[in-house]
Amino acid sequence: MTDILIKHGRVIDPANNIDEVCDVWVENGKVAGVGKFDGQAAQTIDAKGLIVCPGLIDMHVHLREPGEEWKEDIESGSQAAVAGGITTICTMPNTEPCIDHAGIVLQVINRAKEIGLCNLRPIGAVTRNLKGTELTEMRELSRSGAVAFSDDGQPIWHAGVMRKALEYSSSFGYLIIQHAEEKQLTDGGSVNEGWVSTQLGVQGMPVEGEDSMIARDIMLTRRANARYHVAHISSKGAVEQVRLAQQEGLQVTAEAAPHHFALTENEVLNFNADAKMSPPLRTEEDRLAVIEGLRDGTIEVIATDHAPHHEDDKRCGLSCAAFGIVGLETMLPISLDLERAGVLSMLDLIAKMTTNPARLLNIPEGSLSQGNAADICIFDSKAKWILDREKLFSKGRNTPWHGRTMTGQVQYTLKDGKVVFEKGQIHD
Amino acid sequence: MPEPLFGLKHLFGIADLTREQIQSLVDLGDDFIDINTRSVKKAPTLRGRTVINLFFENSTRTRTSFEIAGKRLSADVINISASTSATKKGETLLDTGQTLAAMQPHVLVIRHSVAGTCEFLSEFLDNTALINAGDGSHEHPTQILTDLLTLKRSMGDIEGKTMTIVGDIAHSRVARSHMLAAKIMGYNVRIVAPKTLLPAFVENYGCEIFHDFDEALNGTDILYMLRVQTERLTTNCCFPSIREYHETYGLNMKRLKAAGEHCKVMHPGPMNRGVEIATDVADSMKSLILEQVEHGVAIRMAALTALCGGATEE
């Protein structure tokens, strides 16, 4: 007998180009069918008026375990993920110790399996200890489960090392994800360099810090015929460069974080440390360019750069505060604004959080194809709720959206055919 | 708590002030100048009030100025010098602020290298008025009020006058606060610096920008020289040498004469003689630099009075 029937929802499955009101049913933890269900089910979820889509993938997450569990651990991060409809998270390697050898890859994967709420697919370090000098054993990291490589948090700044990283990784088809930031331009900065940084009297991070490194990397990618992915793209110049590289046929891709298409540097005008991240919130012109990049497909992926911090690291004045904000629990409602504004169809929007990252990372998740693991997100795209940072599942309280109304709410999250999140509650 | 005057709960920066508030503070400071020149320099205005000067950055004149201001008005004044590095290792800025606020002072006067320190602390401290005595490169409101009082006494109405600020605008809280005050009070600001010492979009303040000092002299009523942080200049590649800086942006007698007989010279201190200002200029009759220091005490008396000198409820 069918285990779970999800009835009468608007099913959005970009992998199969499905956008229609129908049923989804689950057997033995797998998707058994999408269409008109005719039979008996042990459990029925009435999804009338709701959207049913593959569990979301967030390919840019910092979970702080091992090493800084007071900020976040794999358990709290997993809970935050499924509360946000996300069933696959790719964790960045800047933990302590960092994910630069197979043992740590296996450790974090196994820890996530013990918790059992979502898939954790680690991103391995490009360089040992994230030092930017020697390459990691990418082959072994990949065999252990790393799905891409990045030194995120830090750029791979050395042009020679970056060249070798692109050449080596692409010999085996791996993806290099770059935190593009020329530190010699941005060091000491807290916010975007511009009128806002001038008014605040805090040092700025010029947009050229991001743009110049991407320009260099695209040249190196061209030479190596490599696969290069820009993390958290935030500037107009960066989007234009990625667009041109794609038109040329290079394997250059990009992701945007919700804060970079939803907010601008004006958020920090009151010295708000919860709006401080790297790259920083930029100008309205940049924000609109990121949206245009999402619209025309230049930016294929939405990813959060979920970066939980302890309050103590944020409550010390803007220029001393740590970089980063949490994002797992706000990715979907903030992203839905793009659909409401007519920028993207629901199908294209969901693709940026399911099939597109799955394709880049070469992982099976992100579709409702028959036989696929039944990782499913069911949400009400119109439900309004007010974000209370004290009620986040993440340990991080660092969100610029505290007190603001969100439109779009996850009702159910299923992982391997099991309901792991239901109407505000985690099911263990 | 005493009722604040002029609708001032805190004094964070010029950006938060109205023309009337600035005028009132300057006029009140003007009234206090008299006390400072008497033989008995004491008034009971702030008797029973407690003022803590919390300075995370080195300062001689601003801290002393606040201390004397409080003492001459009979407040109990406590000075604390905290080094930022010590607080980084041990107590946080917030803990230090909350600890001192728990001792129930009326006013905390704070200088810190982090911009927005007062704004940040005010979210957590309920019953303490905060005065910004300089926060990073953000604002230094009492310096600007001091300058306005000095100019009022020296040349009367400042409206329509032109102040030319020369030097490291990028890192100067004094320059920022003056550019804001100029808009509110109706004077003109010219800024003179190479691009390496200008912040992004500085033109949005509505100032005239010059890279050539000599071109900015004609029509200037006040030459306002900023202190050069010599270490900043060379290590950050903002300028090749002190020698070239003095040659290009230093105020010497020749430039002072070119600006005209009426032109006055100001400097927020401390001066680097022979760098941004030549000794003969600093000591000339055109210099208002010591008046600025003197009036600084009066303005701080006014600021403290505004924040805690009003009538109490008891």
Q: Can you list the domains of chain B with their CATH numbers?
A: 14-140+293-308 (3.40.50.1370), 141-292 (3.40.50.1370)
Render pLDDT for A64-85 as a digit per residue (tens, 0 to 9). 999 999 999 999 999 999 999 9
B237: chain A residues, CB-CB within 8 Å: none
Question: What's the pLDDT at B115?
Answer: 96
- Give the A-side interface with B, CB within 8 Å: 193-195, 197-204, 206, 270-271, 312, 315-320
Q: Is residue A398 part of a domain?
A: no
Which of A200, A270, A312 is the closest to B138 by Cβ? Answer: A200
Alpha-carbon span B314 to B302, nearest angstrom: 23
Determine the average pLDDT of the residues in A86-115.
97
Do A198 and B204 count as a contact with CB atoms less than 8 A apart? yes
Selected residue with higher pLDDT from B2 and A341: A341
- Residue A324's alpha-carbon distances to A49, A181, A193, A281, A340, in angstroms, are 35, 15, 17, 11, 27
Per residue in B270-308, is it b (16+ CB within 10 Å) or e — as a string? ebbeebbbbeebbeeebbbbebbbbbbbbbbbbbbbbbb
Residues A351, A408 within the same domain: no
Of A195, A197, A317, Cβ closest to residue B114:
A317
Neighbours of B244 (CB within 10 A): 12
Cα separation, B232 vs B197, whole angstroms: 10
Residue B58 has pLDDT above 90, yes or no: no
Closest CA of chain B from A324, distance in Å: 18
Q: How far apart are CA B263 and CA B260, in angstroms?
A: 6
Any idea what the CATH number is for the domain that residue A153 is in?
A: 3.20.20.140
Question: How would residue B81 be classed by pLDDT, with cut points 50, 70 and 90?
Answer: confident
Q: pLDDT tens-digit profile of B214-254? A: 999 999 999 999 999 877 666 778 888 889 999 999 999 99
Nearest Cα of chain B lies from the Cα of A415 at a distance, in angstroms, of 42
The C-alpha atoms of residue A148 and residue A151 are separated, in whole angstroms, by 11
H runs (alpha helix) in A249-390: 258-262, 284-296, 311-314, 331-340, 346-351, 355-361
On the question of pLDDT at A325 being above 90, the answer is yes
Question: Quick check: A230 pLDDT over 90?
Answer: yes
> Which neighbouring-strand residues pair with B113?
none
Q: Which of A352, A354, A230 is nearest to A301 (CA)?
A: A352
Secondary structure (3-state) at A142: helix
pLDDT digits (tens, 9 = 90+) for A248-304: 999 999 999 999 999 999 999 999 999 999 999 999 999 999 999 999 999 999 999
CATH number, position A19: 2.30.40.10
If pLDDT is split at 50, 70 and 90, which confidence band does B272 have? very high
pLDDT digits (tens, 9 = 90+) for B211-224: 999 999 999 999 99
Contact A318 B201 (CB under 8 A): no
Is residue A221 domain-resident? Answer: yes
Residue-averaged pLDDT of chain B: 93
Best of B91, B112, B113, B120 to substitute, by most chain A Cβ atoms within 10 angstroms, is B120
**Domain annotation covers residue A389:** no
The identity of residue A193, as a single letter, is E
Same domain, A241 and A220: yes
- The pLDDT tens digits of the residues spanning A402-428 come to 999 999 999 999 999 999 999 999 997
Specify whether A411 is located in the same domain as A329: no
- Average pLDDT of the residues of chain A: 97
Task: Reply yes or no on whether A305 is catalytic.
Answer: yes
Same domain for A235 and A254?
A: yes
Closest-CA residue of B relative to A311 is: B94
In a shared domain, residues A199 and A337: yes
Task: Please give the structure tokens belonging to residue B192.
Answer: 């003179």
Structural domain range at position A330: 55-361
Please state the pTM of the whole predicted model: 0.94
User: Are the Cβ atoms of B114 and A320 closer than 8 angstroms?
Assistant: yes
Q: Is the CB of B114 less than 8 angstroms away from the CB of A201?
A: no
Which among A194, A312, A318 has the least Cβ separation from residue B116?
Answer: A318
The answer to whether A422 and A412 have CB atoms below 8 angstroms apart is: yes
Q: Which residue of A has its CA nearest to B120?
A: A317
Kindly name the residue from A13, A211, A305, A313 that is annotated as catalytic.
A305
Task: Give yes or no for a contact between B289 and B282, defined as CB atoms under 8 angstroms apart.
Answer: yes
- pLDDT confidence bin for B88, thresholds 50/70/90: low
Residue contact B138–A202, C-beta within 8 A: yes
Size of interface A-B (CB pairs under 8 A): 65
- From A193, A194, A315, residue closest to B94, measured CB to CB: A315
Residue A88, min C-alpha distance to chain B (Å): 37
H-helix or E-strand containing A44? strand A41-46
Among A361, A390, A412, which residue terminates a domain? A361
d(CA B133, CA A180): 38
A205 and A114 together in one domain: yes
Region for B225 from its dihedrals, namely left if φ exceeds 0, alpha if ψ lies in -120 to 50, beta otherwise: beta
* CA quadruple B204, B207, B213, B216: dihedral sign: positive
Give the pLDDT confidence score for residue B263 in this predicted structure. Answer: 98
Q: Do A207 and A66 sit in the same domain of this protein? A: yes
Vertex A183, ends A182 and A189: CA angle to 5°?
115
- Nearest alpha-carbon partner for A15 in A355, A362, A365: A355
Residues of B within 8 A of A312 (CB-CB) are: 92
Compare CB distances from A316 to B94, B200, B201 and report the shortest one's residue.
B94
pLDDT of residue B84: 57
Chain B residues touching residue A268 (CB < 8 angstroms): none
In a shared domain, residues A29 and A117: no
Q: Tell me which H or E stretch contains A109.
A: helix A102-115
Signed CA dihedral, B140, B143, B148, B149: sign only = positive
Ordered DSSP codes for A3-40 = EEEEEEEEEEEGGGTEEEEEEEEEETTEEEEEE---S-
pLDDT digits (tens, 9 = 90+) for B135-172: 999 999 999 999 999 999 999 999 999 999 999 999 99
Q: Which residues on A lie below 8 Å from B200 (Cβ)?
A: 193-195, 197-198, 204, 206
Q: Residue B238's pLDDT is what?
A: 86
Mean pLDDT of A347-360: 98
In a domain, A367, yes or no: no
Q: Note the pLDDT of residue B3.
A: 81
Among B15, B94, B200, whose Cβ lies nearest the Cβ of A194? B200
Is the pLDDT confidence value at B77 over 90?
yes
Confidence of residue B43 (pLDDT cuts 50, 70, 90): very high
Chain B residues inside the 8 Å CB shell of A316: 92-94, 114
**Is a pLDDT exceeding 90 seen at residue A221?**
yes
- Is residue A37's pLDDT more than 60? yes
CA distance A240 to A244: 6
CB B166 within 8 A of CB B276: yes
Residues of B with CB under 8 A from a CB of A: 15, 92-94, 112, 114-117, 119-120, 135-139, 173, 176, 199-202, 204
**Best CA proximity match to B246, nearest among B281, B289, B298, B291:** B281
Give the DSSP per-residue string, A152-168.
TTS----HHHHHHHHHH
- The verdict on A410 and A291 lying in the same domain is no
Residue of chain B whose Cα is closest to the Cα of A205: B200
How many structural domains does chain A have? 2
- If you measure CA to CA, which chain A residue comes closest to B97? A316
User: Do residue A270 and residue B119 have CB atoms under 8 angstroms apart?
Assistant: yes
Q: What is the mean pLDDT of residues B120-129?
A: 94
Say if A408 falls within a structural domain. yes
Tell me, rounded to whole angstroms, the distance of Cα A219 from its chain centroid: 26
Please give the pLDDT value at position B314: 52
Judge whether A162 lies within some domain: yes
Give the tens place of pLDDT for each residue, A391-400.
Answer: 999 999 999 9
Are A188 and A242 part of one and the same domain? yes
pLDDT in the model for residue B274? 93
Supply the ipTM of this predicted assembly. Answer: 0.91
Residue A368 resides in a domain: no
Instruction: Return d(Cα A21, Cα A10) in angstroms, integer.
Output: 4
Q: How many CA atoms lie within 13 A of B106 on its CB side?
A: 23
Confidence tier at B265 by pLDDT (50, 70, 90): very high
Provide the 3-class DSSP secondary structure of residue A222.
helix
- Same structural domain for residues A20 and A132? no
Residue that is last in its domain, among A304, A332, A361: A361
Whether the Cβ atoms of residue A87 and residue A119 lie closer than 8 Å to each other: yes
Please list every residue in chain A whose beta carbon sits closer than 8 Å to the beta carbon of residue B176: 198-199, 201
Q: Where are the alpha helices (DSSP H) in A125-265?
A: 138-144, 159-171, 183-186, 195-200, 208-224, 236-248, 258-262
In a domain, A150, yes or no: yes
Looking at the fold, whether A240 and A353 belong to one and the same domain comes out as: yes
Q: Across-strand partners of B264?
A: B222
